[in-house]
Structure 1
Amino acid sequence: MHVAIAALHRPSKPTGVCRHAANLARALAQTNQVTKVTLIVGAWQKHYFETFFSSEKIELLDVDISNSSSARNLWFLFGLPKLVNRLRPDIIHMSFPFPFFRPLFSASVVSTIHDLYPYEKPEVFGYPNVIFNRLFLQQCVSNSDGLTCVSKTTLESFNRYFPKFHLRKAIAVTYNYVDFSQLVPKALARPELGENDPFLLWVAQHRKNKNIDLLIEAYSTLIKSDRLKPSTKLIIVGSPGPETENLHEQIQTLSLQDRVLLLSSIQDSELCWLYQNCEIFVAPSSQEGFCLPLAEALYFSCKVVCSDIPIFREIGSSSCIYFSLEGDPLNNLSQAIVQSLEQPSKKTSGDCRFSKSKVAEQYLALYSALK
């Protein structure tokens, strides 16, 4: 089986969608049923993806177009069909929703639904952008032969807005997988971070639903009240987004320039080291489709504090400390961090739901149902 994965995406720095596409390619390549995976990305994304693969089954194909909204959407509509029909794959997998015309494709099309933000969190996109995001999502859902949702929570949300889809087409829940077994951790070399400095960690793009501002405020409160060691840092790893400017202003206002590190485009080996060495992994989101960083933190047996939302209950373990976003979320988060610091670390066993082999098996089952 030859699978073509469309992963051309606006960001020039890695995002959750990029990591999903790369993980999908690697999971499929390890199976006997898949003989070839063609991963299609933008020329501006090539460097990131080149560092990911060692399998001879995976071909990285970069498309050199203008990285603008109009150019990308025109390419999705007309350029992608020409390219994949020339490649003649058995399955075309869209790594996120974008507009396409189904009659132009000669093979079955599967799309990944990460979240329903265009409906549930329109402020993530702002107006009028959210109108186009809804149209693209509707068009993608209508034209796909099958869909995969990244969690049960996402599927439940999907069913609220597209209640009749499952009556006509195949749909499945397939988690993102976690596998750092081939990586050698590499210490993060930053002048602001001393060799023995403790730190809190959150991995998230700078978007409103990630509640990075709430975490910074809680961190500031704990530092000023001496409930964190004075040397404790806060590290946020994630690509810039709509909230970046506000976050820099907040950090400046709270005089935390030397304490809060906003990082992006770090190597996976460095991310691995951060998971292994953080005091606490804190996930304060108000909305998520899956949250791969939380699954990764659990893989490394991190102490975890996270907001009490359905997806975190679905992914998380009983060892996580959950805090409410209702009432006084700042105090709730601050207290949860202190509580986590006081608890002993626990070694957690691997969760088979997020294993590479399990995820590959689920994708192949969906693909086979469409052939």
Structure 2
Amino acid sequence: MRIGFDAKRYFLNKSGLGNYSRDLIRILETYYPQNEYIKYTPKFIGLGDDTVKTPSGILASTFPSLWRNKWIVSDLVKDQIDIYHGLSGEIPVGLDHTNIKSVVTIHDLIFLKLPHLYKPIDRAIYNKKFRYAVNHADKVVAISQQTKQDIVEYYNVEDGRIEVIYQGCHPAFKIPKSQEAKDQLRRQYNLPQNFILNVGSIEPRKNAFQIVKAIETLDIPLIVIGKETKYSDSIKKYIEERGLQGRIQLLQGFTMEELSTIYAMAEAFVYPSMYEGFGIPIIEALYSGTPVITTRSGVFPEAGGPSSLYVDPQNIEELRHAIEKVLQDSSLRQKMIHDALEYVQQFNDDKIAAQWNALYHTLS
């Protein structure tokens, strides 16, 4: 099979949808090399890779967004693509008028679930693109049961047209870390001996401010790793007002190998997010052998499994109590770590790759 991918995020996004795209194509190329995987992107910095396709001709090169959204169809036909996979909620207009089958991955519908977090124009654009994709793709794939339920609810898509295939994570998180590697990283970045961890963009939906408030009376440092937004300013102001500068660090810019080592160093991973399509940081923590505390509703129990502790993300006292429990009860910690490593095996690369290969074959 010749499978084409919307690879814009593969090349241009360093996290989130970019990680999803890179991990999926990586595992397919590893476990099913007999297929051909062609990456279509409006922009590519590199040379000599015949599996990467960019806009050709003056018009397409001048208007790469139009090429990606519509004009790319003629290139897909010319390249004899069998299946085109929109990795981030979009497929090109008019693809359904060709013999090329299509798949679209829907990660979340946050702009519909929490509309106040988005500008009206952004909501309108996302809604138009997603609605078109789920109604015209031959197969819709949700990254969780929660996202599948949202697609059915908001777009009235027939349940049988939607398949759930979970996402995995970077292999760095699955490699045990030596004490020497941890100590070296601790010295390099001046990290505390013991700490709890939160990873993700520092924005209102992720709710990191609640962790700051929850640990204010606890004797444990907090490290928050992620891209900063205006929301970060309110957190920094609170930290300064309460004299917490020595206990709370907001960091970013780590390599995947460094980040996976920090996960393995943490006493607990705390993730009181309000809503996610899946919550890949939870999976990263489970693979790292780090106990997880997260939100009890939505997708989070689906990602965290029976071994994690669940809280109301708006209840600071409940969150504080859960953190204390994990830090003080060593037998609970060991059980959480042991059970989590068993649960997370369902997200292994070979299993996810097999599901995707089987789905592609149903369309070929």
Report the TM range for the smaller structure's normalisation: 0.7 to 0.9
Q: Is the 8 A contact 2:210 2:313 kept in 1?
A: no
Name the CA distance, whole Å, in 2 between partners of 1:94 and 1:338: 43
Equivalent residue number for residue 3 of structure 1: 3
Q: Distance in 2 between matches of 1:34 and 1:124?
A: 43
User: In the alignment, is residue 343 of structure 1 matched against residue 336 of structure 2?
Assistant: no
For 1:62 and 1:259, locate their aligned partners in 2 and report how far apart those are by CA, in whole Å: 47
Partner residue of 2:30?
Answer: 30
Letter in 2 for 1:100: P
Is residue 72 of structure 2 the alignment partner of residue 84 of structure 1?
no
Residues 218 and 195 (structure 1 numbering): CA distance in 2 closer, same or farther, change over 3 Å? closer
Letter in 2 for 1:218: A
Partner Cα separation in structure 1 for residue 37 and residue 354 of structure 2? 15
User: Structure 1, residues 100-122: CA drift from partner, whole Å, max 9, x if none?
Assistant: 30337652111111111121111
Structure 2 distance, partners of 1:143, 1:309, is: 31
Question: What is the Cα deviation at residue 11 of structure 1?
Answer: 9.8
Aligned to 1:176: 167
The 3-state SS of whatever aligns with 2:8 is coil
Q: What corresponds to 1:165 in structure 2? A: 158
* In structure 1, distance between residues paired with 2:7 and 2:264: 29
Out of 119, 123, 135, the residue aligned to residue 126 of structure 1 is 119
Distance in structure 2 (CA, Å) of the matches to 1:253 and 1:71: 49
Cα contact 1:36–1:58 (8 A) shared by 2: no
Structure 1's unaligned 5+ residue stretches are: 51-56, 65-69
1:194 corresponds to 2:180: no
Q: Spell out the pairing of 1:1-371 with structure 2 (5 A cutoff).
A: 1-9=1-9, 14-32=14-32, 34-41=34-41, 43=43, 59-60=51-52, 73-98=65-90, 100-103=92-95, 106-166=99-159, 170-178=161-169, 180=171, 189=185, 193-194=189-190, 196-219=192-215, 221=216, 225=217, 227-229=218-220, 232=221, 234-241=222-229, 243-325=231-313, 329-344=315-330, 345-346=333-334, 347-348=337-338, 349-350=341-342, 351-371=344-364
Displacement after TM superposition at 1:78 (Å): 3.1
Identify the range of structure 1 (294-303 vs 260-269) with the bigger mean alpha-carbon deviation: 260-269
Alpha-carbon deviation of 1:297?
A: 0.8
Read off the aligned partner of 1:123 and give its amino acid letter: H
Partners of 1:312 and 1:294 in 2: CA distance: 8
User: What is the identity, as a one-letter code, of the residue corresponding to 2:85?
Assistant: H
- Is the 1:92–1:110 Cα contact (8 Å) retained in structure 2? yes
* Structure 2: distance between partners of 1:73 and 1:330: 44
CA contact (8 A) 1:100 1:143 kept: no
Name the aligned partner's letter for residue 335 of structure 1: H
TM-score by length of 1: 0.81
Identity, % of aligned pairs? 22
Query: Deviations for 1:57-87, whole angstroms, at most 9, x for unmatched residues?
Result: 99455679xxxxx966424223533443443
| Pair 1:208–1:105, CA change in 2 (3 A) | farther
Bigger helix share? 2
Mean CA deviation greater in 148-157 or 122-131? 122-131
SS in 1 for 2:120: coil
Contact 2:294/2:311 (8 A) holds in 1: yes
Distance 1:10 1:298, change over 3 A: closer
CA gap of 1:62–1:298, structure 2 versus 1, over 3 A, is farther
Instruction: Report the aligned-residue RMSD.
Output: 3.3
Q: 1:97 & 1:199 partners in 2: Cα distance?
A: 37
Instruction: Decide whether the 8 Å contact of 1:2 with 1:36 is kept in 2.
Output: yes
Q: Distance in 2 between matches of 1:150 and 1:156?
A: 11
What stretches of structure 2 of length at least 5 have no aligned partner? 57-61
Distance in 2 (CA, whole Å) between partners of 1:17 and 1:341 is 33
